[in-house]
Each structure stands twice: as structure tokens, then as C-alpha cells.
Amino acid sequence: MTSISPSGAAGFGRARVTPPRSVGGDDRDYDDPRVVAANLQRAVAAARTRLARATGGRATGGHRPR
């Protein structure tokens, strides 16, 4: 079997595959605007970090909250 391993700026590592765990919550958490906002902030921060790493830190300009 052949394994695909991309390299360069778009490369990614192998993630461990684990069965989903129940943490006791349910989808009602996603109706809370504070949860949605926190998830969005984390996603944007992660995307900025990935972009900065992929471009060597050259593409980190733009609007940044103070």
C-alpha cells in the first residue's frame, strides 16, 4: 500500500485516529452565541498561525484586534 505524504507549505502530519468520546455535552452548546464566537476566534487564530508558518511569516498583515 502506498502512503501519500505531502510536503512544502501545504504539508500536514498524520493525525492519530481515535474513536469519538462523549464529553457529556450536546449540540445545544452550539446555539450559545458565546460558544460560537469562541469557536470562531480559535479557528481564525489557528488559520492565521498556519498561514504565517506556510509563508514564513510574510502574510500576517491585515487587521488584528487589540
Residues 47-56: tens digit of each pLDDT: 999 999 998 8
- What range does the domain containing 34 cover? 29-57
Whether 36 maps to a domain, the answer reads: yes
Q: Reduced to 3 states, what is the DSSP secondary structure of residue 43?
A: helix
Whether 39 maps to a domain, the answer reads: yes
pLDDT tens digit sequence for 3-57: 555 555 445 556 666 666 655 556 667 788 898 999 999 999 999 999 999 988 7
Q: DSSP per residue over 8-44, as a string?
A: GGG--PPPPP------S--GGGGGSHHHHHHHHHHHH
Number of domains in the chain: 1
